[in-house]
Structure 1
Amino acid sequence: MQETTTTKNGHPPGLYLLFFTEMWERFSYYGMRGILTLYLSKTAMQGGLGFAKDDASIIYGWFTGLVYLTPIIGGYIADRYIGQRKAILIGGVTMMFGQFSLASTPQLGVWATWLGLALLIIGNGFFKPNISTIVGALYPQGDPRRDSAFTIFYMGINLGAFFAPLVCGFLAEDLFAVKKVVDGKEVIERYAFQYGFLAAGIGMLVGQIVFNTLAPRLLGSIGKGIKIQSKEEQEVHNQPLSDEERDRMAVILTLTIFTVFFWAGFEQAGSSLTLYTDSYINRKIGDFVIPTSWFQSVNPLFIVALGPLFSMLWLSLAKKGKDLSIPIKMSLGMVLLGIGFFFMVGAVMERGGNSADVNIKASLMWLVMTYLFHTIGELCLSPIGLSMVTRLAPVKLASMLMGVWFLAPFLAQIVGGYIASYVERLGALEIFAAIGGFAIFAGLVLFAISRKLVKMMHGRG
């Protein structure tokens, strides 16, 4: 039965339970991710695992890529066998133990790190697709509150992502880190990564306790059972695809390919940009040195600040009959991503090129401008892409095509990890310029074929 109770602003109270649960899950994930590359690349004496930077980038890429692959499996298991609520419980508890396993590496050895990463990949597969499904299930089809609900839910994601690197990074790089003074400068002698991972695990625990305590009262029966197709749904499922539906599927697949290029560049934030920031960006403001992991909070901060503005912009354009088509918006996102990387080229050039001298630092503003343009690009592409799939996918293939859409970040994370590994070999100037140039080129190609794609959407562009 649908949840019918509403709060003063017209949304079911269950929405805010899901908001809170997702906020703590994202706190857990992004807190761990914010320090992961540093943890992999710092030496054992510094509290890390001692991998070369290029190898650390590849490991990071495979981990974050697999995180986007397993939701296809977790969603299928929930739909067919266990239901969404039970999947969220399994996923949350599994991820919690994954974080605690990472935190116990100093006592148990490096195998605890690999176990922790594996548990995070598996747990995310159960958690990620099913909590979003429950958000949609709070509202009947055609309910005008649905878009607003997902906007609120998206803010929970980014609030968690904003605070996570600040807290986990502060514990790992500042509060519990061992420091010393070298040539009058305070430097970190040994990081305390285990405390950052521990905080991430505690965040996951808090979210699960609250969710499983309040879900029976606030969600009712939503997400408890397995969806059984009605006779009408079975009839729709058995009908062959029309030519228009095939065209729309082709558009989804085409735009998915382009998003692989976008995310491969965008996700450099956790690998090559993190490593470059750690060594070559001036992070000092007065006497305070900003922990490297804190910069993982810049993107969600911009999302929270700019997201409502973009929502109003698209709505205003639509009311005036001047709304941009989906392919145009996504092509704009790719161009903005490319421009962002040319700010990093500026940072490299300020340092005189690919100098390995860590005493020569680039201005912090180059990095901030990079994140700003990347965030604006994300707002033009990511939510637009999710909307596109729900608009264009045939009813009987909607879940599968949403899974295909999430395959783009899976491939992109792995590709992005290998790209980041070449920064040390080929030079940051060449890599950042190549990524920026290719993103702009791909965006222009998408712009060039946008009319054809809109035509193939058959009125849903």
Structure 2
Amino acid sequence: MSSDAPVGARPPAGKTFFGHPRALSTLFLTEMWERFSFYGMRAILVLYLTAAVADGGLDLGESSANAVYGTYNAMVYLMALPGGWVADRLIGARRSVLWGGVVIAAGHYVMAIPTGWSVFAGMALIVLGTGLLKPNISTMVGDLYERDSPRRDAGFSIFYMGINLGAFIAPLITGFLGEKINWHLGFAAAAIGMTFGVLQYVLGRRNLGEAGARPADPLLGADRRRALTRVGVASVVVLAVLLVLLLAGWFTVDTVVNLLTVVTVLVTVGYFARILTDREISGTERSRMKAYVWLFLFAASFWLIYDQAGSVLNIFAADQTDRSVGGFTFPASWLQSVNPILIIIGAPLAAALWLRLGHRVSTPTKFAVGLVLNGLSFVLMAAAAQAAVGGDLVSPLWLVAVYAIQVAGELSLSPVGLSATTKLAPVKYASQMLGLWFLATAVGDAIGGQVARLADTWSQPVYFLTFGLASVVLGLAAVMFTRQIRHLMASIH
């Protein structure tokens, strides 16, 4: 007989954190510093890639830089899938978070080395570390609540505040250091932030009780050895492919970006097929997974647009926005702090709203609202781009308004999606399902990186208007399928 709570969930008793389990504070602060490092680096990445060599940058074209940015984000979230597997089958969520944080910090320190190669080597380490940390820390948050508790959405919304507190502070520091002094100094600040996160997690582990202490479905004996052998073989194959590309002269930024985009989509299709055909999951779990396919597609479409804030919109802020205040021109990356500060303000309101509404507003409906709002933000961005036609610099308030609309959409979809993933997950795929949720971001970002290339060939107003209206139409279509999706969710709200 299965329990309604996730496997291994033993919320520790004692002091509370805003009325929630004390363990939430440890996870909140760890995630805050990890997001500080991630968003701090991300805020200046495209600006560094496109900056002239004389200004300390790599002088990549905007098209390639946008694609690199999108693919990097995609790989960060793609690696959440094997990261969830490592936790589920080998070492547990708690140790996965610890080792992930250590590897992330190492990656940022490598990026701080003032050479061109260090940036790509550092990004590779950050990708691996985030894959271990990101899905498993969210799984541990889910372990603190009963599966269908209304407090669960509120807990994830508070956790989401930690994400955005780090994301708000980071661009202000790394942006100033990177744009005004030295790009690699900005990357070093991100490294220090992640170091704080690791230290805080180690000191606060006593609050966690049993959450994430053991693998949900551990591999033992011969099964464990066989799995590790397969991992080793897969690693050798990946290295061999990279070597072939290098020797054939195909190892270019665009080739690698295109290859990784294809891999991201194929992995997604293959993983859904594996779960849906797994005979060990029940009929109810399979039905819930069919509902989750729809939520996944909606989420991927959302992130395709939303995560262009750090690429296309960031370049717009640098080149077409009047950033002068009292004789001081503030860094373009500072505008990356607008989104998280609005989420910090809005997250408690969203948490209170979900508690008040309870189960009266379904998860699919919240997703539909998020898609419509996301689309409207790009419609407004089309107007901003039209105002900049002819070389005029526009007010940064255009971008502030765009981010405000996107935040409303994000609060309708992202924390709700995290919570829905832990509720709809088959027991066998507990941590891996969080990896699958982040794979929606990976697919959106990978395709979004390719889509962003069109910003170089289409006029900006047409580009923003086309994808904005497409998101609005998809959101309205989602409303029409709400009843069918709720039926597939089998009593999960």
TM range (shorter): 0.7 to 0.9
Q: 2:492: which partner in 1?
A: 460
Q: Are residue 325 (structure 1) and residue 362 (structure 2) matched? A: yes
TM value normalised by structure 2: 0.80
Residue segments in structure 2 that go unaligned for 5+ positions in a row: 1-9, 219-277
Q: What SS does the corresponding residue of 1:446 show, helix, strand or coil?
A: helix
- Matching of residues 272-351 of structure 1 within 5 Å: 272-318=312-358, 323-351=360-388
Q: 1:127: which partner in 2?
A: 133
Q: 1:410: which partner in 2?
A: 442
Q: 2:467: which partner in 1?
A: 435
Give the Cα–Cα distance (whole angstroms) in 2 for the partners of residues 139 and 314 of structure 1: 16
Counterparts in 2 of 1:39 and 1:14: CA distance versus 1, 3 Å: same
Q: Are residue 226 (structure 1) and residue 215 (structure 2) matched? A: yes
- Whether the 8 Å CA contact 1:350–1:362 is kept in 2: the answer is yes
How far off its partner does 1:140 sit? Answer: 6.5
Q: 1:179: which partner in 2?
A: none
Give the Cα–Cα distance (whole angstroms) in 2 for the partners of residues 314 and 213 of structure 1: 32
Counterparts in 2 of 1:214 and 1:348: CA distance versus 1, 3 Å: closer
How far off its partner does 1:149 sit? Answer: 3.5
Deviations 1:39-75 (A, max 9, x none): 1111111111110011000011110000001111112
TM value normalised by structure 1: 0.86
Counterparts in 2 of 1:460 and 1:137: CA distance versus 1, 3 Å: closer
Moved more, 62-71 or 388-397: 388-397
Residue segments in structure 1 that go unaligned for 5+ positions in a row: 177-191, 230-236
RMSD: 2.3
- Whether the 8 Å CA contact 1:343–1:367 is kept in 2: the answer is no
- Matching of residues 193-204 of structure 1 within 5 Å: 193-204=183-194
Q: What SS does the corresponding residue of 1:49 show, helix, strand or coil?
A: coil
Counterparts in 2 of 1:8 and 1:437: CA distance versus 1, 3 Å: closer
- Whether the 8 Å CA contact 2:101–2:133 is kept in 1: the answer is yes
Q: 1:232: which partner in 2?
A: none
How far off its partner does 1:113 sit? Answer: 1.3
Give the Cα–Cα distance (whole angstroms) in 1 for the partners of residues 58 and 385 of structure 2: 28
Q: 1:213: which partner in 2?
A: 203
Counterparts in 2 of 1:11 and 1:240: CA distance versus 1, 3 Å: closer
Q: 1:110: which partner in 2?
A: 116
Give the Cα–Cα distance (whole angstroms) in 1 for the partners of residues 461 and 369 of structure 2: 24
Counterparts in 2 of 1:446 and 1:228: CA distance versus 1, 3 Å: closer
Deviations 1:103-139 (A, max 9, x none): 10x2xx3221111010000010111122223333445
Q: 2:257: which partner in 1?
A: none
Counterparts in 2 of 1:454 and 1:225: CA distance versus 1, 3 Å: closer
- Matching of residues 236-251 of structure 1 within 5 Å: 241-242=282-283, 244-251=284-291
- Whether the 8 Å CA contact 2:40–2:173 is kept in 1: the answer is yes
- Matching of residues 117-156 of structure 1 within 5 Å: 117-138=123-144, 146-156=152-162
Give the Cα–Cα distance (whole angstroms) in 2 for the partners of residues 249 and 14 of structure 1: 29
Q: What SS does the corresponding residue of 1:50 show, helix, strand or coil?
A: coil
Counterparts in 2 of 1:9 and 1:246: CA distance versus 1, 3 Å: closer
- Whether the 8 Å CA contact 2:156–2:418 is kept in 1: the answer is no
How far off its partner does 1:404 sit? Answer: 2.7
Q: Counterpart of 1:308 in structure 2: which amino acid?
A: P
The total of aligned residue pairs comes to 425
Counterparts in 2 of 1:245 and 1:413: CA distance versus 1, 3 Å: same
Counterparts in 2 of 1:144 and 1:124: CA distance versus 1, 3 Å: same
Q: Are residue 173 (structure 1) and residue 205 (structure 2) matched? A: no
Moved more, 135-144 or 424-433: 135-144
Q: Counterpart of 2:293 in structure 1: which amino acid?
A: L
How far off its partner does 1:266 sit? Answer: 0.5
Give the Cα–Cα distance (whole angstroms) in 2 for the partners of residues 12 and 138 of structure 1: 7
Q: 2:74: which partner in 1?
A: 65
How far off its partner does 1:221 sit? Answer: 5.4
Q: 1:269: which partner in 2?
A: 309
Counterparts in 2 of 1:363 and 1:168: CA distance versus 1, 3 Å: same
How far off its partner does 1:15 sit? Answer: 2.5
- Matching of residues 347-386 of structure 1 within 5 Å: 347-351=384-388, 353=389, 355=390, 357=391, 360-386=392-418
Counterparts in 2 of 1:250 and 1:290: CA distance versus 1, 3 Å: same
Counterparts in 2 of 1:248 and 1:80: CA distance versus 1, 3 Å: closer
Q: 1:92: which partner in 2?
A: 101
Q: Counterpart of 1:369 in structure 2: which amino acid?
A: A
Give the Cα–Cα distance (whole angstroms) in 1 for the partners of residues 296 and 324 of structure 2: 40
- Whether the 8 Å CA contact 1:270–1:296 is kept in 2: the answer is yes
Deviations 1:390-414 (A, max 9, x none): 3334433444444332221111111
Give the Cα–Cα distance (whole angstroms) in 1 for the partners of residues 371 and 157 of structure 2: 22
Give the Cα–Cα distance (whole angstroms) in 1 for the partners of residues 148 and 63 of structure 2: 49
Deviations 1:226-273 (A, max 9, x none): 3468xxxxxxx986522x543322111022112211110001101100
- Whether the 8 Å CA contact 1:84–1:130 is kept in 2: the answer is yes
Give the Cα–Cα distance (whole angstroms) in 1 for the partners of residues 98 and 432 of structure 2: 23
- Whether the 8 Å CA contact 2:153–2:354 is kept in 1: the answer is no
Q: 2:269: which partner in 1?
A: none
Counterparts in 2 of 1:86 and 1:457: CA distance versus 1, 3 Å: closer
Moved more, 77-86 or 416-425: 77-86
- Whether the 8 Å CA contact 2:370–2:413 is kept in 1: the answer is yes
Give the Cα–Cα distance (whole angstroms) in 1 for the partners of residues 105 and 366 of structure 2: 37
Query: Identity rate of aligned residues, in percent?
Result: 41
Relative CO higher for 1 or 2, CA cutoff 8 Å, sep ≥ 6?
2
